[in-house]
Structure 1
Amino acid sequence: MPRGLALVVAVLALAAGCAGASRQVSPLTGMPAPSGAPVLAVKVDNSPAGRPWTGVEDADVVYVEPVEGGTTRLLAVFSSRLPASVGPVRSARESDVTVLGAYGRPALAFSGSAPELAGTLAGAPLVAVTPATAASAFRRDPDRRAPVNLYADPAALLAAAGEVSPPRDVGFRFGATPTGGEVVRHREVAFGSAIVGLTWDAVRGRWVVEPGGDQVVPSGGGDPVGAATVLVQKVTTRPSAIRDAAGAVSPYAVTTGEGEAEVLRDGRAFPARWSRPTPTDPTRVLDAGGAPVPFASGPL
C-alpha cells in the first residue's frame, strides 16, 4: 500500500561565477547564472559512511529522496556552477526519472542501476552517464571503501553527455517573503526511519541541512551545507521492481498528482499544496488562495 513520505527539495540558490559570460536569471535559483548552461544531475550517497559530501554545496537544487531500508539519497542538480568533483556517486532509482522529467533532457550521472531499471532509463528523456559509458569522468578514492568511494568530474560528465537541456521552468517562483507563516527555527522531516533536520541560521540566511541530526561540512571545508529555501513535499510511495543486495524493496516516490507541502524560507514555514499533472510538467506550489508561494532567491 502507498504510504505517506516526504520529498525534500532544497534550493541552494548560490551565486554563479563565470565572469564575462552571457548571463540570465536562472529558473532554478532566481539568481544570475550563465545563459544556456547545461543541466547535470548526479546521484549522491546520503549514508553516514558517504558523508561529508563533495561538491553538493555547489548545486542549484538538491532533492532528498527515499530509497530502500528507510534510508535516503540525494539527487543534486547543477547548472549555475560546477564543482571540480562530486560524490560519492551512487546508483539511480526509478524516482529520479520522474523527478527529472520536468528538466527537459538533462544529463544524469550515476554509478549503475538494477537490471530492472535499464529499460526505463534507456527510454527516459535524459542522457545517462556512468562509469560504463564515460570511465574517464569517474575516479575511485583509495582512502575510502566501496561503494562510497566513487567520485566524478562534472565538466567531464557533461562533455561525455553531449547536448543536454539548459535550465527550464520546473515550477519554482521567487519573490519577497509572503505575509504570515509560522516562525520556525527547526524542522525534522521523516523518511521512514531516516530523519533529516533543518535548522534556520539567521546570520547566513540558510536552512542548515542535518541528515541524521548532524550538520554536514563539505569535504573541502567551509560552512555547513544549507539552502535558502526548502520545499517539503508530502508524497506517497509504491514498491518498485528494484531490490537492494539485502532484498529490500526500493520505494518509488510518486511526484505527480498533488498533495500537501510546506515551504521553509526566512525562518518561517508556509503551508502549501503541490501539483504536477505529468512528469514533464512543472511542480506548482500554491497557497490556500491558489497563488504561488515564492521561494527565496538566496544570498549573493
Structure 2
Amino acid sequence: MNRTLRIVLAAVVGVLVVTAGAVAMGAGRDHFWTADPTPTATPSQSATRTPESTPSPRATPKPSAVRGGSPFTGLPARGAAKRVLAVKIDNVPPARPAAGLARADIIYVEQVEGGLSRILAVFSSHVPATLGPVRSARESDIELLRQFGRPALAYSGANSTVLGKLAKSPAYDVSPAHAGAAYFRGGSRPAPHNLYARTGALLARAPKASTARDIGFRFGAPPPGGRAVTSQQVRYPSFRADFGWSAKTQRWRVSMDGTPMRATDGAPPAPATVVVQYTDIRRSTLKDSAGNYTPYTRTVGSGRALVLRNGRAYDARWSRPRAAAGTRFTTTSGRPMTFAPGQTLVMFAAR
C-alpha cells in the first residue's frame, strides 16, 4: 500500500470514530433527560406551574398527584379525563343530610355569616346523578376555584357584587340563571334548603370546563413522624366539626354539630385525609340579606396546617403563591406532605 493511500484510509477511520463518538454522546444525553422528563406544558399548565412542580433531571422523584392516578384523589384514573364540577352545598342543620357528597373528590368547608359553615364540593372522578341542597356562592369561592382552571360552578345565587365578580371569573356559571332546567325542588324541607340539581344537565351547560389537573396535592405513603390520634375537633363561632378515625375502614368519620354525617343517597362522606388549613378569615364589606357581614377566607399565601391521615396527625405548612397556582403542603421539615389516596376534606380555620 503506497503512502498516499495510507493517509486517506487513516483520515476516513478518524472521521468514523469521531462521528460514532458524537452519536453515542447524543444518545446518552437523550437517555439521561428521558429518565425523568419535564413534560411539555399546555398554555394553561404553564400558567399554574410553580418551580417546585418542574423537577430537575437529577432530583429525587417527588410523590406525585398525576402519575398513574387522579390529581384530586391519587386513585387510578379510569377512562378519559373528566370535567370538573364545583357545587356549593348547604350545611346548616335544616339542610342535612345532603346528597352526593360521598362521591366528591374534595370537600371544602368554609365559614359563612353568623359563624356557620357551607361546603364547596369538587367532583371529577365520580359525579352523582343529583346533588344538593344547592346554596349561594361567596366571594372567597372565586379565589379558591382559580387553581382548578375553568371549572363548572353550581350555586343558587349570590350578592350582586359577587355576581359581578363571578361573571368576570374563569368559571362556567351553571347556576339557575344559566342552567335553570338542571334544578328542582325536592323532599319535605322548606325553601331554601330543598334545591337540588341534576349533574348531567349542569355539565351539558359547560362543555369546555376544565378537566382534573395538578392542584398541588401529593399522594403516597405516610411521611415519617406524626402522632397517633383517634379524634380531632375544629370549631367556628356557631359550628363544630368532629373527625374520628376508623381503623376498620381506614377512613375518617365526620360529624357536624355533634351529629354523624349522613346522606340521602347512600353512604356519607368518608375522607381518607382531613386537612385543617389555618388562614386569615376576615370580615369583608359584603353582607347577607339579614345584614350579617360575610367572612372572607384567604386561600392565597401560606400558613400552617394540620393533616390527618392513617390515624396520625402531622403538623404541616401550606403555600399558594398566586390564585392560578395550586396549594402545596409540606411537612415542617420541608418534605412533601403526602395525602392518603381517596377523598380529601379541607376545613379552613382561623389562624
TM-score (ref. length: structure 1): 0.89
Q: SS where residue 225 of structure 1 aligns?
A: coil
State the Cα distance separating 1:142 from its structure 2 match: 5.1
Is 1:80 the counterpart of 2:125? The answer is yes
Give the superposed CA RMSD: 1.4
Q: Return the index of the structure with the highest Cα Rg.
A: 2
CA distance in structure 2 between the partners assigned to 1:298 and 1:221 by the alignment: 18
2:110 touches 2:118 (CA, 8 Å); kept in 1?
A: yes
CA distance in structure 2 between the partners assigned to 1:277 and 1:72 by the alignment: 26
Q: Which amino acid aligns with 1:28?
A: F
Q: How many residues align?
A: 276
Is 1:236 the counterpart of 2:284? The answer is no
1:83-129 deviation line (CA, Å, top 9, x unaligned): 01100000000111111110000000000111121221011111111
The structure with more helix, counted as a fraction of residues: 2
Gaps of 5+ in 2: 1-66, 344-351
Higher relative contact order (CA 8 A, sep 6+): 1
Cross-structure match for 1:293: 337
Is 1:277 the counterpart of 2:314? The answer is no
1:22-61 equivalences under 5 Å are: 25-33=69-77, 34-61=79-106
Which of 202, 211, 228 aligns to 2:256? It is 211
CA distance in structure 2 between the partners assigned to 1:216 and 1:100 by the alignment: 25
Q: SS where residue 69 of structure 1 aligns?
A: helix
1:15-57 deviation line (CA, Å, top 9, x unaligned): xxxxxxxx96110000123332000000000111111010011
Q: SS where residue 207 of structure 1 aligns?
A: strand
Is 1:265 the counterpart of 2:309? The answer is yes
State the Cα distance separating 1:160 from its structure 2 match: 1.2
Q: SS where residue 227 of structure 1 aligns?
A: coil
Q: SS where residue 297 of structure 1 aligns?
A: coil
CA distance in structure 2 between the partners assigned to 1:265 and 1:274 by the alignment: 16
Is 1:112 the counterpart of 2:120? The answer is no
Cross-structure match for 2:109: 64
CA distance in structure 2 between the partners assigned to 1:180 and 1:133 by the alignment: 49
Cross-structure match for 1:9: none
State the Cα distance separating 1:298 from its structure 2 match: 3.4
The structure with more strand, counted as a fraction of residues: 1
CA distance in structure 1 between the partners assigned to 2:188 and 2:256 by the alignment: 23
Is 1:153 the counterpart of 2:194? The answer is no
Cross-structure match for 2:185: 140
CA distance in structure 2 between the partners assigned to 1:298 and 1:39 by the alignment: 16
Cross-structure match for 2:135: 90
CA distance in structure 2 between the partners assigned to 1:24 and 1:225 by the alignment: 24
1:177-192 equivalences under 5 Å are: 177-192=222-237
CA distance in structure 2 between the partners assigned to 1:35 and 1:162 by the alignment: 14
2:185 touches 2:194 (CA, 8 Å); kept in 1?
A: yes
CA distance in structure 2 between the partners assigned to 1:139 and 1:32 by the alignment: 33
Identity of aligned residues (%): 49
1:24 touches 1:35 (CA, 8 Å); kept in 2?
A: no
CA distance in structure 1 between the partners assigned to 2:262 and 2:164 by the alignment: 37
1:215 touches 1:225 (CA, 8 Å); kept in 2?
A: no
Q: Which amino acid aligns with 2:341?
A: S
2:320 touches 2:327 (CA, 8 Å); kept in 1?
A: yes
Q: SS where residue 52 of structure 1 aligns?
A: coil
